[in-house]
Amino acid sequence: MLSFKTVKSPNGKYNEIQIACDRKGMAILIGTLAELVGEAASHRHLRSPAAGGTELDPTTPWGEEADVCEVIITYDEAGSN
């Protein structure tokens, strides 16, 4: 299980991202990050079923809607452009 949810900060001034995962979700996240290491510049997508993927779950472990359907992780080594 891997889900991302945005919430307002306690003071209401900014948004927070909450990540919930179990062992399998952590492996997906770590594996995705590891794929990017060593590449000069690249990106990976993590998507929920609503966005055509299988990496993200549509709900949190508490049954709340995970309002983030796609996470794009961009990696760019300094000076690679």
Summarised one tens digit per residue, pLDDT across range 29-74 is 999 999 988 777 799 999 999 999 999 999 988 898 999 999 999 9
The alpha helices in the chain, defined as continuous H runs, are 23-36
Counts of helices then strands in the chain (DSSP H, E): 1, 4
In which band, very low, low, confident or very high, does the pLDDT at 76 lie, cut at 50, 70 and 90? Answer: confident
In which band, very low, low, confident or very high, does the pLDDT at 77 lie, cut at 50, 70 and 90? Answer: confident
- pLDDT value at position 67? 92
